[in-house]
């Protein structure tokens, strides 16, 4: 087994090197704006030092102490670049096994991505290097809880410079951006020199987008008229629309403004092609995926699908459109869309590349686009080629991929920033990943123990425990209690435990909220994870709420909320319990956290005839039911496109009055008498009801279906499926 770490000197001897330097353009890519094709292969040695290529040529001198690897008869190409994926650190072995050495993430948890992008973190994994946008941009009711919400132009001016300062590489947006916000975002992004990628925003024409300066277009739905679907659209009509997009593509000698170049396109055709295959139950690939992924993948497999004939016609339409974009010289970026269901990280990119060959692009051209071409679009000067000064990301293959792109499958060696990883080591990493998932599935079936919350002095009037689930997986468990304190107020305390299977590290949240006469007076929050402790404390001072933050006991800052904060929205059931007790004649505000920065959000609340609480904020919706003594019976929350259901395991008022609810706010479907103890599962949301019933909550769609039929609301960032309408189109 070959396993060489960084900072070693390695010489690859005797291979056929495909440098991917631009050479003559093929006939199918001769239009202005085309990014070229790979030059001819050469027989050469490659010297790698400190993670970079330091020499390339025939019969290189071998430095003393260098490790020499004979690759005679093998083909050497640059590592692959996946231009559209969603990063998850535990999936690193899958990318490396498939030869993906560079990954562009389209948005997630910003702090986690910034940390994982650090070179030492990527080497420790080991995993592909990252190009990140941090958090995706979206409008109200975002498709993901990790989005940066831009509902006003002022938000654009405030938040984009912060993202630039944090160090994001580019910006990405979802369909929820209003046209005026999109235009303001484009202007601000250009001033900050941050490329902006996204779909065609609703209400914006293809012609405007083509000349707007938007750096890249995600997916192909922009080429459909409203009401059109992929399986019936005319190819001639698609080609006419390509001409509109192609009109924004500048020639090689033009000034390098994005508006004159026109946008690149990341089609992700594999999202449609996957609908033509059924991997069957218990597919082997599920063994390396975390339980929440495996559940989502299986749910999609058994769910409704369009007829195969219609899907086949739709796929041919997209392949024809891809060929037309190539002929027009529109820059194209291959991306897998992984880990979207049945698009396996790493392997999904190869599937996408083979589809491009099926569309009529030559294998050599597709390989160029997945290496040097993608690096050029993304402005990566030291990636995508085999040349002196480049990062040493190299695949050693047994066959020539420029003749048959399937040769990319299962490389003999993957060189990752100078580290040589052979098949045996990659198999061992995948086996370890599968073992880890087996342990997680076993742990999911066992109770998740949670420490009792720390109780202040006072009389205990209510207590219980709940579990929160989503994606068919238990996400967290919580113990809560309500006490009447010595000063006559109420203390709402909880301890929420989220296991490491959900986050990279286990998280423990302790929350203590103090109310008097129905008004929040103070709170203390402590989040411990990864060996660090993050604390936030708040005190009501007149009309203001003073908030202090500390990290590991060290003062961070002190801010003031001017709004009358009613509760702390931090993932505890006690937040819903407090929300249900608020008067409805005044605005209701909660203090929540955006990447641990305190943010005040406004809630819209009502109670249904059956006593259910229905509430919504710009980040999502919530519904819950409560017994007469204040015990929670059920709760469900829509955060972005994610539906999280809270199941009450036990709750008791100990035979007393608890914290009584107004009669109109008691969920009348609850049959448990006041004061009795609810047993396991003692409360569940009514079937077909959920958080999406709240005002402005909207339905979630996490299947990558794009804009919903008959709706102009933003959803997830995936492309439209069959029978789905497209955003407004026009020149």
Among residues 565, 568, 584, the alpha carbon closest in space to that of 576 is found at 568
Helix and strand tally (H, E) in the chain? 16, 34
Q: What pLDDT shows up at residue 683?
A: 42
* Cα three-residue angle 349-353-357, rounded to 5 degrees: 165
Q: Map out the domains of the chain as residue ranges.
A: 447-693
**pLDDT tens for residues 529-547?**
888 999 999 999 988 999 9
Instruction: Report whether pLDDT(31) > 50.
Output: no
φ, ψ for residue 52 (rounded to 5)?
A: -125, 160
Whole-number pLDDT of residue 253 = 34
Question: Shortest CA distance to 181 belongs to which of 167, 166, 196, 193?
Answer: 196
Q: pLDDT of 398-419, one tens digit each?
A: 999 999 999 999 999 999 999 9
pLDDT of residue 501: 65
Q: Please give the pLDDT value at position 26.
A: 39
For residues 235 and 693, which has the higher predicted lDDT (pLDDT)?
235
Residue 552 or residue 699, greater confidence? 552
Rounded-to-integer distance, Cα 260 and Cα 199, Å: 19
194: CB partners within 8 A, 6+ apart: 160, 163, 164, 168, 169, 170, 171
Q: CA geometry: angle at 250 spanning 269 and 366, to 5°?
A: 35
Report the mean per-residue pLDDT for the chain: 86
Longest dimension (CA), the chain: 88
- Please say if the pLDDT value at position 708 is more than 50: no
Rounded to an integer, what distance in angstroms lies between the CA atom of residue 592 and that of residue 563? 13
Predicted local confidence at residue 251, as pLDDT: 39
Q: Which of 218-227, 362-371, 479-488, 696-705 has the lowest mean pLDDT?
A: 696-705
The Cα 516–Cα 485 span in angstroms is 10
**Confidence at residue 595, expressed as pLDDT on a 0 to 100 scale:** 64
Q: What is the pLDDT of residues 322-364, one digit of tens each?
A: 999 999 999 999 999 999 999 999 999 999 999 999 999 999 9
DSSP string, 226-255: TT--TTT--HHHHHHHHHHHHTTPPPTTS-
Q: How far apart are the first and last CA of the chain?
A: 58
What is the Cα–Cα distance from 332 to 345, expressed in whole angstroms?
Answer: 20
| CA 27/CA 327 separation, integer angstroms | 9
CA–CA gap between residue 144 and residue 131 (Å, rounded): 20
pLDDT of residue 62: 92
């Amino acid at each position: 087994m070959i396993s060489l770490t960084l900072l070693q000197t390695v010489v690859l001897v005797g291979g056929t090197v495909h440098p991917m330097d631009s050479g003559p353009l093929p006939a199918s890519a001769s239009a202005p704006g085309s990014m070229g094709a790979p030059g001819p292969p050469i027989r050469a040695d490659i010297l790698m030092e400190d993670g970079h290529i330091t020499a390339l040529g025939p019969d290189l001198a071998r430095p003393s102490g260098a490790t020499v690897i004979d690759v005679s008869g093998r083909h050497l190409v640059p590592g692959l670049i996946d231009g559209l994926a969603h990063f998850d650190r535990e999936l690193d072995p899958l990318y490396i096994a498939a030869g993906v050495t560079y990954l562009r993430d389209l948005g997630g948890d910003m702090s986690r991505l910034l940390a994982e992008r650090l070179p030492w973190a990527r080497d420790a994994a080991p995993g592909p290097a990252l190009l990140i946008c941090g958090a995706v941009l979206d409008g109200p009711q975002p498709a993901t809880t990790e989005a940066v919400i831009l509902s006003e132009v002022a938000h654009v001016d405030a938040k984009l410079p912060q993202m630039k300062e944090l160090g994001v590489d580019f910006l990405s947006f979802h369909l929820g951006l209003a046209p005026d916000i999109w235009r303001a975002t484009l202007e601000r992004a250009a001033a900050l020199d941050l490329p902006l990628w996204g779909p065609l925003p609703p209400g914006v024409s293809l012609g405007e987008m083509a000349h707007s300066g938007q750096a890249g277009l995600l997916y192909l739905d922009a080429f459909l008229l409203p009401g059109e679907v992929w399986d019936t659209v005319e190819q001639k009509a698609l080609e006419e629309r390509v001409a509109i997009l192609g009109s924004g593509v500048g020639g090689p000698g033009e000034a390098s403004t994005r508006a004159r170049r026109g946008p690149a396109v990341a089609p992700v055709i594999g999202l449609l092609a996957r609908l033509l295959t059924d991997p069957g139950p218990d597919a082997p690939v599920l063994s390396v995926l975390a339980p929440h992924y495996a559940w989502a993948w299986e749910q999609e497999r058994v769910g409704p699908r369009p007829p195969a004939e219609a899907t086949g016609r739709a796929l041919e339409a997209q392949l024809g459109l891809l060929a037309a974009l190539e002929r027009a010289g529109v820059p194209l970026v291959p991306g897998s869309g992984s880990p979207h269901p049945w698009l396996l990280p790493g392997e999904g990119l190869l599937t996408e590349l083979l589809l491009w060959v099926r569309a009529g692009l030559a294998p050599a051209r597709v390989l160029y686009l997945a290496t040097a071409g993608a690096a050029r679009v993304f402005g990566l000067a030291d990636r995508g080629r085999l040349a002196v000064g480049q990062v040493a990301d190299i695949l050693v293959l047994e066959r020539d991929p420029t003749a048959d792109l399937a040769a990319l499958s299962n490389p003999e060696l993957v060189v990752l920033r100078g580290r040589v990883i052979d098949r045996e080591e990659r198999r061992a990493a995948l086996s370890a990943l599968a073992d880890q998932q087996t342990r997680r599935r076993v742990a999911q079936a066992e109770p998740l123990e949670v420490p009792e919350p720390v109780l202040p002095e006072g009389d205990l009037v209510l207590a219980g425990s709940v579990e929160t689930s989503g994606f068919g997986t238990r996400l967290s468990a919580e113990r809560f209690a309500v006490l009447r304190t010595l000063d006559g107020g109420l203390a709402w305390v909880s301890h929420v435990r989220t296991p490491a299977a959900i986050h990279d590290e286990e998280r423990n949240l302790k929350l203590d909220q103090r109310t008097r006469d129905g008004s929040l007076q103070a709170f203390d929050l402590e989040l411990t994870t990864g060996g660090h402790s993050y604390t936030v404390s708040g005190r009501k001072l007149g009309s203001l709420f003073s908030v202090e933050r500390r990290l590991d006991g060290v003062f961070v800052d002190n801010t003031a909320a001017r709004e009358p904060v009613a509760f702390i929205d931090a993932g505890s059931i006690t937040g819903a319990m407090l929300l249900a007790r608020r008067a409805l004649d005044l605005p209701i505000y909660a203090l929540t956290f955006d990447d641990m920065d305190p943010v005040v959000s406004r809630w819209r609340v009502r109670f249904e005839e059956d006593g259910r609480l229905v509430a919504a904020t710009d980040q999502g919706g919530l519904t819950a039911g409560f017994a007469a003594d204040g015990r929670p019976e059920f709760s469900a929350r829509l955060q972005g496109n994610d539906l999280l259901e809270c199941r009450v395991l036990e709750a008791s008022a100990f035979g007393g009055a608890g914290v009584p609810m107004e009669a109109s706010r008691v969920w009348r479907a609850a049959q448990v008498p006041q004061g009795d103890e609810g047993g396991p599962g003692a409360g569940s949301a009514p079937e077909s009801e959920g958080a999406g019933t709240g005002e402005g909550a909207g339905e979630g769609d996490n299947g990558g279906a794009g804009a919903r039929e008959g709706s102009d609301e933003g959803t997830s960032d995936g492309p439209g499926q069959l029978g789905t309408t497209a955003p407004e189109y026009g020149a």
